Structure 1
Amino acid sequence: MPLTPRRPRSRRLRAVLLAAAAASVVAAALPAPVPLGIGDPLFPHLGNPGYDVLSYDIGFTYLGDNSKPMEAVTTIDATATDNLDRINLDFARGTVHTVEVNGQPAEFATADEDLVVTPQSPVHAGEPVRITVRHTSDPKAALDGGWVRTTDGLVMANQADAAHRVFPCNDHPSDKAFFTFHVAAPADVTVVANGLPTERERRGASIVSTYRSRHPMATELAQVSIGHSAVLHREGPHGLPIRDVVPAADKAALEPWLKRTPGHIAWMERQVGRYPFETYGVLIASADTGFELETQTLTLFERSLFVRPEFTDWYVDSVMVHELAHHWFGDSVSPRGWADLWLNEGHATWYEARYADEVGKKRSMEQRMKAAYALSDGWRAAGGPPAAPRASAPGQKIGIFRPIVYDGSALVLYALREEIGPRAFDRLERRWVRDHRDSTATTADFSALASRIAGRDLSGFFNAWLYGEKTPPMPGHPDWHTQKPTKHA
């Protein structure tokens, strides 16, 4: 009896096997995977070279239990800026199931907090690349940023280097991109994210909510709120849609604060021009974070800020304005590197202080800046000058957020206004947010623009105020003096 001939494998299966074999050969020929970075002095391994992310499409499946990892899919569309045999992504605190590059399975490995992907074929400079990662996202690991567990769900707090503890990304503000979020959650759970809702679809017992940003965003500003929340809608200046997300039980108690937001926006627009995004809102979380965070279009606040009796009305108002001001300074105009953080926090503190002075009729700007001047040498000794901060100590991920980048950097703006005059300063502020909208900018860019508007070279002024170990004399205030730094300043 003749032997039955073996059936030939399909062409597709043969091609897949050959490609997998080729990828294994390529991977074997490459050196061991290593974490990369883009050279940020404060976060050496943050960000990755060789590509420019255009968009993120991120899906989470939330089962109503914060103790279990969520299944997730992150799709990254990018353009290669170099020839790439490997592609590094920032990612930690999750399990990677599979990775595809341009629709083909890819090998992957971890190196420190990098996910190192080896595509079947090298990607050439100028080519589009789509990376799809199926992974978990673990809220149990909310120790130093990323997911924050609330009493009824989750929110994100990714500043400065924690977005990659939630999803694979190029986790540096210099690479802004558009975001789409799809979150599947039980029907009784409310989901809100950056941008505006585009779809809400029932899938079995779950509802999938889709949100999309209309403006590019830094990874540190991503926000997804999952919980038993109330969403309250109102209208801001020029018909701007405002939606606030608050614990359902607190919506009546919080309404006196929430209704102030349209007035805050109108005040900021009088200072620097039109609000730069498609929506705004306040996200109040029942969690102890120790900070508020300007997540784009949906600012994260601790519930305690609004309910603790020791916080006066004018103080809460000014903090709300601080976070709102970041939407011009930090969100729309993002720092090119983390040493440019003073531009974010200095400006937000500046407008916080101006609001407290002009509207709250509390502590004048001059009084606050004089007090800051007295302490400034101590702040510089403790953390470095405003535009050259020292890196955080090990284990202190948000250690760069020191007094020198808040009041110490607002003091630089006060000195600049004294140096060039109020009219030139106001023109500078408006031009800055207009010229760099939806982009990134550096300290050098700010100095150059200020010089053009003032009509003279201000590089000496900025070098002294931003990089000097000692605080320079305050223009127009020869009677102001700094205190000698204490040993523990």
Structure 2
Amino acid sequence: MPLTSRRLRAALLATASVTLVAATLPAPQPLGIGDRLFPHLGNPGYDVLSYDISLTYKGRNTEPLDAVTTIDARTTAPLERINLDFARGAVRSVEVNGLPADFATAAEDLVVETPSRLPAGMPVRITVRHTSDPSGDKANGGWVPTADGLAMANQADAAHRVFPGNDHPADKAFFTFRVTAPKNLTVVAGGLPGGKRDDGDTTTWTYRTEHPMATELAQVSIGRSAVLHRTGPRGLPVRDVVPAADRAKLEPWLKKTPAQLDWMEKQVGPYPFETYGLLVADTETGFELETQTLSLFERSLFTGTGYPEWYVDSVMVHELAHQWFGNSVSPQSWSDLWLNEGHATWYEARYAEEHAQKPMERRMREAYARSDTWRAAGGPPARPDVPTPDHKISLFRPVVYDGSALILYALREEIGEAAFDRLERTWVRVHRDGSATTRQFTELASRIAGRDLTAFFDGWLYGTKTPPMPGHPEWRTETPRSGAGGQGPARAPKPE
């Protein structure tokens, strides 16, 4: 329930009478966990264990969906209020441990007053009845309208435009999706199917993840879709979701995934999740996205005529590599984004070198030449500039793609291929299903190399100028040009 008139009167009186200050909670305010790039993202005082998200889609992708989000969490500090990240939806009611709770909004936070003070270490269940609104600014993420329904693109800070939660990759949790839609539509979500139930002219579909997931990686697809099944390495179920009319046209691309999975496993070890596949959506976003177990791709990437085969293949491998780097091992803060995108770009480039004769060294030399320009435009790879408030995706700049893959190239040159390979495999094994920091990566690299790499990483990760490339003293950087850094989606460099 919204804050009652009694509580509102008390809050107003508290500003005018010091005698009431001790008895009245301060006005609701947005909180965060201290992320340098997104100060109000995430919330202190609790750890989410699981989300159970029910959505009812009525057949029009411009109308709000009815929704119930249930969050099971554990308090990490005493709480009288619980802040949830949530925007672009109407909240109808909130319960805490089955009891009605007052609530208010503050910026993009839903602030819930607990019925009684919660001590640290206590299980808590928060149930929010709300709407989930797909209209509004598609450029900043959340629901993405498609030609026949909806999909999600929640990176970096847009999951709370779809459902309330702790919208930061430092707090991963298990997810259950229950989506009700008209019978003529197909619903697919991240994880594995948990059954479906018909009721009149609607069907309710259930999906559950078997591994914890960051909110920004959640995916729900609703549309006139075909679901295609095949088998990957070691019997892994591979399922693709495509516009039903395009299944034959897309099959030459989709059938490549098992071999790409096999190639990635040879590089870094077993695929870390319960399933994988492509969600091909008839929409224009300007990017592809590594949503967990079901990567989002624009239909035009496969059906257009502007991209050579090697380029599309490399984009597919980029999003696949993210399942290890970014999804299984998520960033502890958004300043650690270089670990996600640098690694995905690294394996994308490696794949293009092995399968399309696109030399890695040439690509890295070109990246080296532009690196100072990218750093000037977007900040160093591990200390990127804050994204513009009206275009959060501006965080995804060239410096975190090829500019960060360049760091991995330099590291391999510095410590040798054998140590680098051991580092990659160890990193994804040790931090599987967790969130990790840049410092943890650099410390692991030093241990595996058998020497302190602090000075090496300080220059490459945080310097405003690109250090000399080990083994290639002849490489030179270009003079930075104003405005030349650009910004880019999760996609390989455009082919010439």
Q: What is aligned with 1:190?
A: 186
- 1:205 corresponds to which letter in structure 2? D
Which blocks of at least 5 consecutive residues in structure 2 are unaligned?
Answer: 12-22, 485-496
- 2:330 corresponds to which letter in structure 1? S
Q: What is aligned with 2:417?
A: 422
Contact kept, 8 Å, 1:142 with 1:148, in 2: the verdict is no
Which blocks of at least 5 consecutive residues in structure 1 are unaligned?
Answer: 1-19
Offset at residue 488 of structure 1 (A): 2.3
Q: What is aligned with 2:17?
A: none
**Cα deviations by residue, 1:119-161 (Å, 9 ceiling, x for unpaired):** 1101110000000000000111252210000000000000000
Which of the numbers 231, 241, 244 marks the counterpart of 1:245? Answer: 241
**Cα deviations by residue, 1:63-113 (Å, 9 ceiling, x for unpaired):** 101121110000000000010010000000000000000000000000000
Q: What is aligned with 1:4?
A: none
Contact kept, 8 Å, 1:142 with 1:149, in 2: the verdict is no
1:73-472 aligned at under 5 Å gives the runs 73-143=68-138, 144-361=140-357, 363-472=358-467
CA distance in 1, matches of 2:97, 2:38: 30
CA distance in 2, matches of 1:269, 1:140: 40
Which of the numbers 19, 25, 46 marks the counterpart of 1:51? Answer: 46
Aligned partner of residue 119 in structure 1, secondary structure:
strand
Contact kept, 8 Å, 2:377 with 2:482, in 1: the verdict is no
CA distance in 2, matches of 1:487, 1:280: 41
Aligned partner of residue 370 in structure 2, secondary structure:
helix
TM-score where L is the length of structure 1: 0.94
Aligned partner of residue 450 in structure 1, secondary structure:
helix
Count of residues in Structure 1 that have an aligned counterpart in Structure 2 = 469
RMSD: 1.4
**Which structure has the larger Rg over C-alpha atoms?**
1
**Cα deviations by residue, 1:279-316 (Å, 9 ceiling, x for unpaired):** 00100000000000000000000001001112000000
CA distance in 2, matches of 1:51, 1:360: 48
Contact kept, 8 Å, 1:353 with 1:365, in 2: the verdict is yes
CA distance in 2, matches of 1:306, 1:398: 23
Offset at residue 350 of structure 1 (A): 0.1
CA distance in 2, matches of 1:428, 1:352: 18
Q: What is aligned with 2:19?
A: none
- 1:202 corresponds to which letter in structure 2? D
TM-score where L is the length of structure 2: 0.93
- 1:437 corresponds to which letter in structure 2? R
CA distance in 2, matches of 1:63, 1:487: 48
- 2:128 corresponds to which letter in structure 1? V
- 2:265 corresponds to which letter in structure 1? E
Contact kept, 8 Å, 2:174 with 2:212, in 1: the verdict is yes
CA distance in 2, matches of 1:224, 1:304: 20
Contact kept, 8 Å, 1:107 with 1:117, in 2: the verdict is yes
Q: Structure 1 vs Structure 2: percent identity of aligned residues? A: 70
Q: 1:110 to 1:197 in 2, by over 3 A?
A: same
